[in-house]
Amino acid sequence: MLVLGIDPNYLSVEFPQTVYANAFNTMEQALLYRHIVPKICWKLQKWLQIGEEKKLSRAWQTFDRFLYERISSRKANMEKKEEEFDLLTAYMAEEEEEEVKEDEQISALRKTDKFLRDTAFSFLGAGNDTISSGLVWFFWLVATHPSVENKILKEIKATIVMHKKEDGERRFFFNTKQANNLVYLHAALCETLRLYPPVPYNHKIAGQADILPSGHHIKKNQTVLISYYAMGRMEEIWGNDCLEFKPERWISEKGCIVHVPTYKFTAFHAGPRNCLGKDKALIQMKMVASAVIGNYHVKVAKGHPVLPRNSIILNMKYGLKVQLSKRSLL
């Protein structure tokens, strides 16, 4: 919804399967494969159009069709001057108004449908599964740590404005200023992302020969694989309680969020190419987390196995099966 202004209607298992959503998942799976096998193997498979690369090409075509349709519908709406908000429309409007004198060729390229497709794909790839993966681990951690759940509830009740609808049902709302006051919830989300970073690993290629702070020599063009998952659980970095889910470690004595350098808390990467959507992600996660926890008690189904899936995004292998019961206290 936020990126393309379209509701894919796939939140409920009863809804029909969405071809585009399936294509997106297939692409993610095939991209994991590219990280595992030597480059020559997947390049050969791509050339011969076999195996994972064949699946990737097909899914790519399906997803491309979907994105191009969205781009032309957004363009048509912009011409009709229809008021709409989504990231793609905002980006396109910005490009139209851009007054920066850049190279004409670059400027023309940035307005092509292909460039818009790549931009929309980056937004979707970066902000779609990452937030949902983080939230699923969060709900599981909260469900298995009742004292954390109680503290979150207490904070929500103290911060958020209740609103009684005409039919008597009560709902709550909050704005971004109030969201900033949800300190404990913010801490619980950061603690979740430390233990279960949605992007569990990353790799970078050295532009120049270098020596890492650890003393390891890196050659030019050598690939370095960084495991954010392992870093979030290292005793040297997080202390001897590193495996415990403790939102309190993020809160100072004065009750504020402790600043943790990005090179220590690496879930959003660090340095010049770190995540551009970090603040947006945390706000969005706070909105969903407080709406769910404030209105429902989440209980994990008995015997449901909770394991990470091998993927470029740290999803749960079998999803999270839960029982929701409506709360009466809010």
Output the smallest distance, CB 194 to ligand HEM, in A: 11
Output the smallest distance, CB 224 to ligand HEM, in A: 12
For every residue of 195-241, DSSP letters joined together read HS-SS-EEEEE-SS-EE-TTS-EE-TT-EEEEEHHHHTT-HHHH-TT
Among the listed residues 44, 237, 275, 306, the single contact to ligand HEM using CB under 6 A: 275
Residue 198 touches ligand HEM, criterion: CB under 6 A:
yes
Output the smallest distance, CB 49 to ligand HEM, in A: 27
Residue 330 has, within 13 A of its CA and on its CB side, a CA count of: 29
Output the smallest distance, CB 327 to ligand HEM, in A: 26
Dig out the tokens for 280 from the structure: 């947006």
Output the smallest distance, CB 108 to ligand HEM, in A: 22
Nearer to ligand HEM, 152 or 289 (CB): 289
30-69 residues in contact with ligand HEM (CB under 6 A) are: none
Please check whether residue 291 is in contact with residue 12, taking contact to mean a CB–CB distance below 8 angstroms.
no
Residue 199 touches ligand HEM, criterion: CB under 6 A:
yes
Nearer to ligand HEM, 134 or 247 (CB): 134
Output the smallest distance, CB 168 to ligand HEM, in A: 35
Nearest residue by C-beta to ligand HEM?
277
Residue 250 touches ligand HEM, criterion: CB under 6 A:
no
Give the C-alpha separation, 5 to 88, whole Å.
Answer: 8
Measured CA distances, 284 to 87, 97, 128, 132, 308 (Å):
14, 28, 11, 10, 23
Output the smallest distance, CB 325 to ligand HEM, in A: 27
Nearer to ligand HEM, 45 or 245 (CB): 245
Beta bridge partners of 225: 203
Beta bridge partners of 274: none
Nearer to ligand HEM, 91 or 172 (CB): 91
Residue 277 touches ligand HEM, criterion: CB under 6 A:
yes
The DSSP call for residue 94 is H
Residue 71 touches ligand HEM, criterion: CB under 6 A:
no
Give the C-alpha separation, 127 to 97, whole Å.
Answer: 25
Q: What mask of x and - would describe binding to ligand HEM in positions 98 to 127, judged by CB under 6 A? A: ------------------------xx--xx
Of 126, 163, 159, 197, give the one whose Cα is nearest residue 286.
159
Residue 276 touches ligand HEM, criterion: CB under 6 A:
yes
Residue 229 touches ligand HEM, criterion: CB under 6 A:
no
126-165 residues in contact with ligand HEM (CB under 6 A) are: 126-127, 130-131, 134
Residue 313 touches ligand HEM, criterion: CB under 6 A:
no
Output the smallest distance, CB 240 to ligand HEM, in A: 26
Dig out the tokens for 74 from the structure: 């957004």
For every residue of 3-40, DSSP letters joined together read TTS-----SSTTSPPPHHHHHHHHHHHHHHHHHHS-HH
Give the C-alpha separation, 125 to 254, whole Å.
Answer: 37
The CB density around residue 8, as the number of other CB atoms within 10 Å, is: 13
Measured CA distances, 145 to 32, 90, 149, 305, 325 (Å):
32, 40, 7, 17, 17
Residues at the contact surface with ligand HEM, assessed by CB under 6 A: 122-123, 126-127, 130-131, 134, 193, 198-199, 202, 267-269, 273, 275-277, 280-281
